[in-house]
Structure formats: C-alpha cells, structure tokens
Structure 1
Amino acid sequence: MIEKILTIEKFGVFNDFNWNRDSTLQDFKEKNIIYGWNYSGKTTLSRIFCSLRDKAIHIDYPEAKFKLRLENNQEFESENLERYETTVFIFNKEYVDAKLTWDSRTELGAPIAFDVGENTTIRSEIGKLEAKIEFAKLRKTATEPVINIFNEYENWRFKEESKAIRLIISNNTIPFDKGHFKAALNSISKDNLDTYIILENKEIEDLKILSNSTNNFQAFDEYILDLKVADLKLAVTELLKEEPAKDVVIDILESNKDLYSWVKDGLAFEENAETCSFCGNDITTNRITSLNNYFSNASKELRDKISVQRDSINAEIALIKSIEIPKSKNDFTERVRETIDQKINSYKAIKSKYISELNHLLNELTRKEDGNIFNNISISVTEYELKEFEDWISELNEIIRSHNSLISNFETERNSAREKLKKHLIADFLKNENYFVKKEKSQNAQNWKKLYENYVNKKESIKQEKLDSLKTITKGKDELNKFIQKFLNRDDIEIDVTSDDRFILLRKSRPARNLSEGEKTAIAFSYFLVELESLGILEMQKTIVFIDDPISSLDTNHISQVYSLINSYFFRKNVDLDNPAKVVNCFKQLFISTHNFEFFSFLRDSSQLNKRKKITNPTTGEKQEVPNFGFYQIQKIDTDNSVLKALSKVLKRYKSEYIYLFSLIYKYKQEIENGGEVYDILIPNALRRFLEIYTLMKIPNEPDSVENRIAQLVDNVNNYKTLNHFSHFTTFEKATRHDELIMVLPIACNELFSLLELDVKHFESLKKAI
C-alpha cells in the first residue's frame, strides 16, 4: 500500500511537491477520495500511478521524479520503477482514449462500429500487422523480377543455347540438351570460369573442325631425308682451294675445257690409231705420248675429283627431285588440313632453293675447271639457309605425326575436342550473360523472398491470433452490457457484435448512429471494470485502483448510478465463504478523484467508504476502530504549481458546491476589505463557477449563456462589465489566464456582491449558511 507521495519533481503541475511541508496532510488510507477542479492536477496525479503500472516514467514527463513511502516505512524511488511489484489499474482520460476507438470511416447514416478495451489495442496491432504484411509482400514481389530473369535460363535459355552448342560441336549428331548443359555447370564456377574460355580463335576453329570430323583417312610415313648440301659444299670448297703441279701443261687444253674433254675422250678412242678420225692427219707417237703424260699428271687428278664431285651433286639433285610429298590437303584430317596445305604449297620454293644451292656448287666446280685449275679460289657466298629445309621437314613430320595420332586415337581425340569446345562455349555464354552475377542476385533475392515469406507467415499467424482474440473479447459483451446498463441506468441500451468482430451500440434494439460522450465514458468504464474483474477477487484484493473522474460528460441523473456501480463493485458480500454477509473490499487500495462536487458528495457520504477498520491495539490488546478512508484536495497554488492537501473543512462541512464556492469568494472579499494582499489562484475559477450556478438557478431557460442570464437579472448590464468579462472565458482559458483575471478580481467580486444584493433574502441565507 502507498502511504505517502513524499516528493514530486517536474511532473506536470507538480513541479516541486513535498508531502511533509503540510503537517495537516494525513497518510493515504485504503480508501481515498480526491477532489479538485479541472486543470488542478488530478489527471497528472493519476499519471504517477500510470508510471507504477507501466514500470516507466510517463512519456509526457521524461525528466520527472517522485518518491513514495510504502507500508512498513519502506521508501520507493521512481528510478526503480521496474522493481515495483504491486498491480496497478488506472481509469482516466488516457484509458478512455486507449481503450475505446470507433470507425471514423463509417458511411453517413450507418451504425457506429467501435472497439473497446484490449480490442482497441488488438485492432491497432492488426492494422500494423497488415501494414507490415503488405510491405513484406511488396518487398517479396520486388524480388521476383530478379528471380524471374535468372529463371529464364532454366525455363528456356539453357535449352536454346544447348541447341546452338549441339550444332557447333557435332552438327546435331550427338545428344546435348538442357540437362547436359546443367550437368556441365557442376564443374564451372565464378572463380574458374575464365580457365575454360579459349582466347585464340585458331584453337577454337581447330576444335570445331575436329569435333565435326570423321575417321576415313590413311596414315602417312614420316620423311627421313639426309640432306647432303652441307657436305657437298665443304667438298667443293676444298677442291676450289687445290693447286696441282704444272709438270706437263698444254695451254690450249688448260684454257679450253670442252677441248680438254674432247681430246681426253679422243685419246682413249684413238690411242692405237695412226691417223686422226676427225681430221685424217697422221698421229705421231710423240703426240700420243705427250697427251698421255698430260692427262696423267696432277691437273688430271684434280679434274677427276671435280668430275666425281659433280656426279655427287647431280645425284643429290636427282634425289631431291624424286621426293614425293602429299598431293592434297584433303588426304589429311581436318585438324591439320590447313597447316599441311601450307607445307605442300611451300615445298616448291623450298626445293627450288635447295636445288639452286646445289647448282651453285656445280657452277663453282666449272669455274675451277675453266681457267682456275691451278689457282686457289674461294667459293662464292650465297644466302641459302639449310635450316629452312630442315625445319620444313621437321614441321611436315610433326603434322604427319599429329595426323597419324589423331586417326589412331580418333574417338578419344574427337571426344576431348568436343568436351573442351563445349566447356568453352558454355563458359563464354555464361560470361557474356553475366550468369554468375545474376545467379548471386537471384540467390540473394530468393533468400530475401524466403525471409519475407516466413515473415509474412509469422505475421499472418500472429494476425490470426489477434483476430481470434477479438472474437474472445467480443464474447464478453454480456458482462460488458451488464455494467453499461448499470452505469447508464437503462435497460434499452446494449452493445452487440458485428460480423468483423466490432462492437455496435444498440438503442432500443436499433443500431446507434453516433456515440455521446457519456456513452463513450460508460463503455470505457464498463470495460475497465470487466478487465479488472478478469483478475479474479484474490488478485483484485492485491491491486491498487485509481479512478479519475468516471462521471465526465454525464448529467446529474447518471452520477448517482456511477456512484452506486462503484459502491456495489468494490464492496461485495458473499465473497468470504465463512461469513457471506461480510462486506469485502475488492481492492488493495482505492483512489477516486473528481471535479464534480455532486459526485464527490456521494463518495464523501458513502457508508462503505467511510467504514472504519477494526484493529487490535498492540499495547492494550483491545479491539478498536480506526479511520480507513482519507479525503484530499488538489489545488493550484500558482499557474505552474499544484499541491495535494487535506480536504478543506468547508468542503467536508457543506453538502453544496454552491455554498462552498460562496464561502471562498466571501472570505476573499473580506480579506481584501481588511487591507490584506490576497493572491488566491482558486478565486477566478470559484467566481466564474459560482456565477454560472447562481444565474442558471435564477434563469434556467438560458442554459448556455451566462452573459444573457446576467443581462436578464440587472437593469444596466454596463455596471457589471468585469463580471461579464469572467463569463466569457472557457475552462482552458481560465487555466491559462489566471494572472490577467487576478488583476481585476476585487472589481469582479464587488460586482458579484452587487448582483447578489438585488436578491436580499437569498444573499442573507448564503451568509448564514457559512
């Protein structure tokens, strides 16, 4: 139980409240009634209790602090709200706003549909869930274009590309479809994609040729050639350097090679003849001997060597000319066809160069014989490179080996080419399509889509639970109706449930087209009681209940009903099974605040609220009764500060707000007349409220205009300008313009008493009453 609010700081109008400053302020009891005019701070006080309920400082006062004294002299500070364990229930304007909502979108003339209690929160939560669900669905939909773009590969792009690849690698002779394409993807990833792509167009074309080739070719033998040009050149070089001895020289023969050959051949032919077959002259023995000596000397030997060398060179030329190379590239597999064609076409020039070099050697030998037989001469230099012919033969053999290898391992080679080309085509397609980027985006989108789907499913499930809760709460309409009818003291009004689990108000079994402020209060307060009832009696007896102005917007006829409802609800018989007739308090501690004097009077005079508590005196051991109720007043002491104080003795004594107001104003006027400097924040409100009640009592047919009523009570309204000025202020303006009003209070009081003096008997009876 809360015994005191020791201090309050920066909590609305309670800027600097200290309980102990007022020695007359008694501790809170089990039952507590608090009276205060509007804007005095009643609702603010209820928000302190809201902070206890919510275990957090009220959102409107983030810098606020307060300190309580609980039973057994325990102190509790607002810094430790999360540790406050007692259940607290509060009914105030905030509760009405939070627990009662109606459909402002209802069509004109249609019945007003509303939610009450937890349904207001649940309906709001359902709305928020629906917004979240819709947002998640939109986000899910936003993922689908990315997924759909990627799914095109699965749906048709792979199929179309597979057709193209099948045509390239086999001209449609082997199966290759979407399934084969996807199987190949198992070995290709974003990281190794480039390793499968062939950059050289030549290699790609070779693979295409081999992939589409057939095995109907013959093998070729490699070419084994012993090219002797180097050795022949070396031999000719040596012969050109020789210088034979000139033992017998016949100059004419030395200078004429043809003549030399003719004579040499003729000598063998005519060696034993006596006459020359050519000219018919006699052939002398000396001539024969001279010629034989000439042809048998060193010069002859060199010429013989040259002749032999010439024969070798000619044999080499004949050999080269006899070599047969492949006639057509078409005799070779497609893989080497282009390169073999190049070799075939280049052979003529290669052979020609080689033979030309051999002919050069022959010419050099002739140059030696013709006039240089006894001279040392150097061989003429040429630019011929034997390596060109050797490389040609080597390359030709390489092509032949490649050709032979292919036809001997044709299936393996072709399959390998197809596989390599296939991987290249797939990888190239994937790269050009940014496939792996799209795949990653699609996977991310699918992950998000799945998250959104799960999110939507969870939220839909929660939403369904909330919808089910709506049905559960609306099932309690009978209990709610019971309290509403007691609250309004009417049997012809009740609430019903619509098909979408909203409430509607029925008046005489017909749907209401609007809700009055009183009906709204009745519905909200009835739900408050239903909600509190749901705790069960035992829990209710552990609960602190704070009720702030439950009669707001109700007329006088209903105020007694509210009092009666509170009285019967919180003080019950048939709870104690051992003593059914005993009245039991259905709360731990009860606080009721009000601005309405009539309602306050009901509460003040309640036998249950005023019932004393029986205790045993710890000293004497005797039974005794002690007060178990407290009466308090909230009062503004300046424009920004209010205090909680003991209830004024006048309020305790008088059963009329009217007399209480007059006592305040009369006391104020006396103090002014006695020369005192009185600054009472209550007087402007008291003056206006008294003027309102007095004029309404005198002129009841003008319920809405104090000014009009004053005009009907006096001869010259101009004599009451200041008083009239007070009648123009609204309740809110009264709260915000006290300083302005206080400046003219003495004049206004004089004018009020002048007005009362017009009714002498009434004025005198008022003074006697106080």
Structure 2
Amino acid sequence: MSGHIKKIDSIKSMAVYDDFQWSSSMRDAGNNIAEFKKLNIIYGRNYSGKTTLSRIFRALETGTISDKYSSPEFQLSFDGGSTATQRSLSNHGRIVRVFNEDFVRDNLRFIVDDEQTINSFAILGEDNTKLEEEIEKHEAELGSEEDKSGLLGELLGAEEKLKGVQKDHDDKSSELEGKLREKANKADTGIKHNKRFGDANYNVSKIKTDISTVTKGTYSPLTDEQVGKFHDLLREEPRSEIPESSTFNLQYSAIASKAKELIEKKIQASAPIQELLIDAALASWVRTGRGHHQEKRDKCAFCGSDLPEDLWEKLDKHFNQESEELRQALETLLGSIERERARVPNLLKIKNSDFYSNFTADLDSLAEQLSTLSESYSQSLDSIKEQVEKRRDDIFTPLEFKTSEFIEDALNAVRDSYEELRNESNRLTASLSADQSEARAALRLHEVYTFINDIKYGDECTVIETLNEAMGEAKEAKNTATEKVDEKREKIAELKAQLKDESKGADRVNDYLNNFFGHQSLSLKAIEENLGDASSGYRFEVTRNNKKAFHLSEGECSLIAFCYFMAKLEDIETKGNQPIIWIDDPISSLDANHIFFVYSLINAEIVTPEKYEDDGEIKARDRFKQLFISTHNLDFLKYLKRLPGALNKKKSQYFIINRTDQVSDITLMPRYLKDYVTEFNFLFHQIYKCAHAQIECDENHDCYYNFGNNARKFLEAFLYYKYPNAVENDDKLARFFGDDALASSLTDRINNEFSHLAGVFERSILPIDVPEMKTTASFILRKIEEKDPDQYSALLQSIGVENA
C-alpha cells in the first residue's frame, strides 16, 4: 500500500494519551503487531480520545500541532520506512484531509459566531468543455472582428502565422521542458531523488541554472577518475584527528658519534701486565676473577695457591681508572643501543583505518619503505654494537670505527611524508562537509552535462530560438490592431476565470444537503466580495429560505459542516489526488435518519470508486488512499460495516479506544463488538471480566469501579426481555435469582449503591469492596447459565470465550 500510514508508533503527553505504545497495545490473537489498512473504523465513547487522534492527522494536513498541548510527542510510520513526528509535519509528502471540530472552527466560523462567514473554495466547473470550446472560438476569431479596421487581411494573415509558429514553439518548448522536469524530479531516476546529489528540493528552475553553468566555456567536464574519486569522497565519514607521532626521534647520529669516540679512544695502563695486553680473553678472565677474590680470599679459588701480597697493587696499575671509565662508558653506550634497537618496531605506527580511503595507496607505499628501512636501521645498530663490544673486551686496543650505510635521513624522510599525509587527512576532516558539498555539486553538474549532451540540448535551444524569433515577427505583424486584440484577450481571460468557479463549491454543498438530507430550505450561498469583479473571490453564507440563517440547531450545524467537508474533497487541491481521509464522529446531534444519510454520503462520495472515461472505455478508480472513521454511536458503527470492503480482512481494520480514569489506550476491536455491534455484549463482557479477575491485581481496578453501572445496565436490558410483562411492584431480580435471596439482595445493593452517590457521598472516598463485586458477578453468570444455558453459551462465544 504505497504511501499508506501503517501505525501510530507512540503518543505521549497529548490529552488522555499519556504514553501510548502501538507495539504493546496493538496485538492480534496470534500476538502479531496489527497495522492500519485501507479502511479503518474506530469506536470509542465520548471523551475517550477520538478527537485527539484526529488532531494528530490534522497536524499532517496543516503542518502545525495545537499549542494547547504543552509538550506533545507522537510518531507515525508509513509503508516504505518513513516516519512523521511533531517535529516533521511537512515532509511526509501525503495529502491528508481531516474532518473534526478544528476543521469546523477554521473553515466554518459562522457556526461558532454568526457574525463571521464561511471560507470559500473552488472546484472544477461542470461546464469546462463548453467554456474551453468558447475560448478556442474567440481565439480563432481574433482576426474576424477587424473587418471595420481596414487591417483584416494583414491581421488575419499575421494571426494564422502566429498560431502556427506559436504552436510549434510551445510544442518544442513543452517537449524540452518535459525532458528537464523528468530529469530534475522524476521518481527514482530524477536528480531530486538521487541521494548522492543531496538536493531534495531540486526542480526545473535549478536544472536550468546548472545548464547555464555547464554550457559556459569555463566549465571542464569531469574525467572518469575524478568521478570515481568524488564518489569515494561522498562515502567517507568524518575521522578523528590523527595525533603526531612522538616516538620517532632517532638516536642513530648520537650513538654513532659516541661509538666512534669510545672505540677509537687510546688509553694506557700505569704498569701494564704484558700477558694481559696480549691476551684479551685472559685479561677479561683476570678482571672477572679479581672481583671474586679481592678482599674475599687469601688463596686462589681455582688452584688453591696463596695469592701474592702485591697482586692487587699490580692489577690496580694495570686496570687503572681510565680503562674502567672507558669500560663503563662502553657499557652505557651498549644500553643506549639496545634501547634504540627495541624502539625500532614502534618508531612509526601507520594505521590505514585512521585515514581517508584516498590515502591508502600512499600509506601502503610508506609502510613498505618503513619496513625495509627499519630492518636496515636495526642492522646498522647491530654493527655498532659489535664494534663496541669488541673494544670493551679489549679495552686497551683502540679500533677503527666503521660506519654502515647512513639511513637516518631516509627514515626521517618517511616520517616527514607520513606527517604530510597526517596533516592533509586532518585538514580534510575539518573541510569534509564542504568538500563533500563541492563533490555533490560537481557530480550533479557532470550529470547535467552528460544529460544535455545526450538530448542534444544545444540543437533543441537553437530550434526553439528560431521559432521564438519567428513568433516575434508574427506578433509585430499584428501590432496595428493591439487594442482590439487586447479586448479579445480580456474576453478570453474572463472565460478562463470561469473554469475554476468558487460558486460551484456552494452548489455542491447544497446538492448534498438537498439530495441526501432533504433540506430544501437550508442552503449555502456564494456571495461575490466585489460585485462585478470576477477576480475578487467569494464568501459563503448559510441561508434559510433565501435569507441569512441564524440560531442554527446543533444538528443543522453538524449537517452543514459535514456537507461542506464532503464538497471540499472535490476542490482543486484535493480531487484526483487520492487523499488520506480522517472523519471524526460526524453524526453528533443527528437523529437516526440523518445518521443513515451520513453513512450513505460517505459510501457514495468517498468509498464507491469514481468512474471515468479513458479512450472510450469506462473505468473506475479509488477516490481515497486511506479512510479513517471514528464514532461513538453503535448505530453508525453498524452502518459502517456495510461499506464496500468493510468485511474484507485484507482491506479493513477495526479499533476501539478504552479510557480508564484519565488515560486512554487503543486496541483492536473485540470480536463481540466488531461482529455484533451491541452494548449488551460489551456489558456482559465487563461482568465476565469482574467475575474472573484477580483481586490483588491493580490492572483490574477499573472493572470493579465500573461494575455497579455495568451490572445495572446489563440486568435492566436482560431482565426486561426475559420478563416483559408489566406487573405491579414486580421485583425482577427476585424472580431471576429465585430462592437465592442473598444473591438478589447483594446484586440490588451493588446496583443501587455503587452506581449512585446521592445521599451517601462518603462512599466516593471509601475503597471498593472488591470481593463483594466478584461474588455478585459470579452469581449473575451462574444464574444466567442455570436459567438459559443456550443464551449463556452464545454470550460467551460473542466475547471470544469457549464454554467449558
């Protein structure tokens, strides 16, 4: 059902709707969420919230919600996934027409204040064909009235030539205009409906502006590569700012410089021990052993011999302070090398996901370079490390420092390139919205450029311009007869103004009043604001016997208002557009005959398809997209079930509005009301619910508080038809309950005391005795079953309960 309203998702803080949720309230017997259908019938008692629902739909029509609601919230869902809320009332794109008290107040101010008037409206005139023929005749005669001017031959020839050229020009212009309109806003394929162009208000005027841009010599068409890049840009989402890398600071130069200094440094022992100078391994062994013996042992831990007394003095002179300082410096440098070596894998973390997609290729290239250079950098550090360790192990032998290939600059260059990409990506984030807007504009202009080339727009314009020049020449030929031509055109304009006649709106209201309701004396009169001025407009006035009517009854007001609404469905903004229609309780203050006539009018003028002729064939089409009718009247509800499609489950849906205290809820109409349309079944259902409700459950308090009224009304109807004979001092309750005097007495007490407060006002502030209610309800059900089991079984079936 294209364009249909599926459901009212939620209503909050609107009169009796505190927090209505469709998904929880609107479930069928299979626990499936129900939806609106083509025909929707809503029943609810007065003050239950029907008009509030109609105001939500009227807000879709007018674009505003009543300011009497402090903070209303609601949401409606349409098929296709779109929604409308109190904040988006003008973007749904549907034509909605609502009849409710607000419609009456806004359009028929006379009903509220007899000093006011009624808004007029125009419908298409019934004599259009005749008027159009007359207009065409006058246009063909433009030259025939010039016989006395002496310019007949020249004017007639110029007029015929102008007609031909103008027709060719108009046809060609219309053809081109149609192509532009289709390209601008045709459903699915038009630029307006293409999200990548980002202009939901695109129209013919804008495409003409774009054509003017792309036809200038300064415009350069996009290449396929540019188009691809723009599409990629439009798919981008804003990225977080990429922070600068703080771990890259390379130490290679400092390490290499320090290594060269230490490796090549020359030192001498104060009193060198020749053997240790010659054998570096032995020197290392002695140095290590010194730490295990000095001031710890008197004998050699290896051979057990006594250590010479001057041994430590000799070793101190060999391993002097200078050599130890150098050794310590070398160890420190080795630590620096290790730390730098450990930093290499984390020098620069390149994460493509942090960047926009157009940086991927450059980032991949940098990552590859970084991997290769990092490996070379690690090898260079390893080479320095080996040389440092070698000098440390042979501390008195200077070595020549050998440098590896210098790659620090190359690594820094990679980092600089990364920083350029990072800064560029961050700049793109700041300007993404503007860049995407430019991309959309560029793609839209490219689309327009391709389009005008496809339709050969330049050739079309040349032909139209040629025809335009010819048309100008033809117009110049009749300039000598300007006054008479102007008079003829004024006549034609006057006839065209009659095509849309506001007086026809009043006539249609009168047709409904007279033909459907038989009100010959009551009518609507269209009064011209400025007599003689066809362009001045009309106002409507209610008349009785051709005189302005005052003191209308409520029934007359209701009839006029509804007939006005029905006629307005044929105004020039509505007719033929299949609106969504909501009719809120249209039978207020009407008698039974008028209620049937309202049903008949809805059936004939809305529900019954409209017939029309197409190429000689009579066809039918729906007058509406969706119809919603609410009522509090069970007789009217009974008539509505006769509407075409009302019994078709695929086309119709029935709802009921239940009000408990100050809050209302909308649910699917129960079977007994939908199928039988009688309050009798409803009252029986309330008694049944009371008899089977759980006393401790708060959700059942309404059936207890309403039980007195419900039981009294039900028993009045039930016992009247069971005991229709009029007997003086007849106690029908006693006859019904028989020997069960307790049940009779208890029922009589509840019926009288709990359905009235007169004389015992204090009862209104005391809690309801729930067990008493439940017991009485059970008495009533049990006695009905005992007296008439067939009727009891039928009543249970009518409320959807299987008799055990």
**Common fold: TM-score over 0.5:** no
Superposition TM-score tier, normalisation by shorter sequence? 0.3 to 0.5
Relative to the length of structure 1, the TM-score reads 0.42
In our comparison, the structure showing a higher alpha carbon Rg is 1
Relative to the length of structure 2, the TM-score reads 0.40
